[in-house]
């Protein structure tokens, strides 16, 4: 074989080896990015709900890995993707902690909010039967209080339903609306608000 | 009947929504009813909520803690 043909053969082999190496890197990077995406997808729903900032960080890291992959920077894509499963593990821990925190919060409110609603209902029933209203109250305020009570009572039913359905974040959000409405109604009626529900000064 | 008062030494219930009134000198249930309900004739509501401490709507004592429904 003459030297020119030999050189071409060498170049061909080197090129093939280079392509094989690159293809191997590409495959590894693709697999790593796909695996990272799958691991995040498994927790994405709850992560977005309970720890949205942390979820966004992981999503951004994933996007960066994908961008590197698309650009052909397989080394960078692989490095980015390899770190993501650990981040997903941290997300899982954070979700569990947040759920526990919210569940405790809801259980506290579920002890107290029915008591507030009951006290308001009793007072409204009595005031509705009154021939004249007390000094701090007029007809418009009383009607507003009744409407506020109805809103709070419905929100409480919704909160309980959300909690039963496993949607703790929504349950706490709705329970907080109940609390705020009940506090406003009690203040309108001149009632003392329970310490646990009083706005923090 | 509204919630009972907790025994002394027990941790206060921070969610307790019971409305209390401490009887002052010269007050009657009718006057207390007037204050909270705007209507003295509704004193029976206060009496009914406090039958554990009130034997009669006419017999209330200074310093007594009454539930106001």
pLDDT mean by block of 10 residues, chain A; 201 residues = 67 61 81 94 94 96 96 94 94 96 95 96 96 93 97 97 94 96 97 91 66
Q: Which of B14, B34, B37 sits opposite A194 (nearest CB)?
A: B14
Q: Which residues of B touch A186 (CB under 8 A)?
A: 17
Residue A139: is it exposed, middle or buried by C-beta count within 10 angstroms (0-12/13-18/19+)?
Answer: exposed
| Residue B46: closest CA among A123, A78, A168 | A123
- Residue A154 CA to residue A175 CA, distance in Å, equals 10
Cβ neighbour number for residue A42 with a 10 Å cutoff: 13
Crossing angle (nearest 10°) for helices A52-71 and A74-129: 150
- Residues of chain A with Cβ-Cβ distance to B41 below 8 Å are 131
Distance to chain B for A116, nearest Cα, Å? 5
Alpha helices in chain A (DSSP H): 3-50, 52-71, 74-129, 139-164, 168-188
Q: Across the interface, do B37 and A127 touch by the CB < 8 Å criterion? A: yes
Residues of A in contact with B66 (CB under 8 A): none
pLDDT of residue A130: 93
Q: Are A95 and A47 in contact (CB under 8 A)?
A: yes
pLDDT given for residue B2 in this prediction? 41
**pLDDT for the residue numbered A135:** 92
Test A111 with B69 for CB contact under 8 angstroms. Answer: no
Is A134 close to B17, i.e. CB distance below 8 A?
Answer: no
Distance CA B27, CA A154 (A): 39
Residues of chain A found within 8 Å of residue B37, distances taken between Cβ atoms: 126-127, 130, 134
Contact at 8 Å (CB) between B66 and B53? yes
3-state secondary structure (DSSP) of residue B48: helix
Closest chain B residue to A189, measured at CA:
B36
pLDDT score at B12: 77
Which residues 4-63 of chain B have a CB within 8 Å of chain A? 12, 14-20, 34-39, 41-42, 45
Pick from A22, A15, A61: which is nearest to A40 by CA? A61
- Report pLDDT for B7: 59
How high is the pLDDT of residue A9? Answer: 66
Do B15 and A115 lie within an 8 Å CB cutoff? yes
As a dihedral over the C-alpha atoms of residue A155, residue A160, residue A164, residue A166, rounded to 10 degrees, the angle is 60
pLDDT value for A20: 53
Q: What residues of chain B score a pLDDT lower than 50?
A: 1-4
Closest residue, chain A, to B34 (C-alpha): A134
Q: Give chain B's largest Cα–Cα span.
A: 37
Helix (H) or strand (E) holding B34: helix B29-37
Q: The whole model's pTM is what? A: 0.77
Q: Tell me how far apart the alpha carbons of residues A65 and B4 are, in angstroms, rounded to a whole number.
A: 63
Burial class (CB in 10 A: 0-12, 13-18, 19+), A41: exposed
pLDDT at position A12: 62
Contact in structure between A106 and A175 (CB atoms under 8 Å) = yes
């Amino acid at each position: 074989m003459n030297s020119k043909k030999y050189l071409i053969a060498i170049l061909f082999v080197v090129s093939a080896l280079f392509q094989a190496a690159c293809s191997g890197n590409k495959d590894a990077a693709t697999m790593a990015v796909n695996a990272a995406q799958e691991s995040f997808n498994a927790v994405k729903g709850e992560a977005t709900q309970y720890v949205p900032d942390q979820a966004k960080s992981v999503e951004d890291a994933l996007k960066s890995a994908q961008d590197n992959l698309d650009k052909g920077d397989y080394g960078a894509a692989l490095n980015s993707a390899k770190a993501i499963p650990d981040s997903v593990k941290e997300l899982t821990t954070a979700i569990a902690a947040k759920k526990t925190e919210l569940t405790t919060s809801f259980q506290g409110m579920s002890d107290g909010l029915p008591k507030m609603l009951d006290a308001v209902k009793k007072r409204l029933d009595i005031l509705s039967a009154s021939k004249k209203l007390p000094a701090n109250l007029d007809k418009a305020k009383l009607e507003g209080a009744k409407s506020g009570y109805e809103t709070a009572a419905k929100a409480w039913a919704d909160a309980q339903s959300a909690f039963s359905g496993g949607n703790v974040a929504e349950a706490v959000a709705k329970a907080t609306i109940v609390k705020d409405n009940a506090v406003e109604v009690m203040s309108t009626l001149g009632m003392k608000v329970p310490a646990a529900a009083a706005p923090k000064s | 009947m509204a919630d009972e008062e907790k025994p002394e030494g027990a941790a206060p219930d921070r969610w307790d929504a019971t409305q209390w009134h401490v009887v002052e000198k010269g007050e009657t249930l009718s006057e207390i009813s007037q204050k909270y309900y705007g209507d003295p004739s509704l004193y029976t509501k206060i009496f009914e909520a406090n039958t554990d401490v009130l034997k009669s709507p006419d017999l209330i004592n200074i310093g007594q803690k009454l539930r106001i429904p």
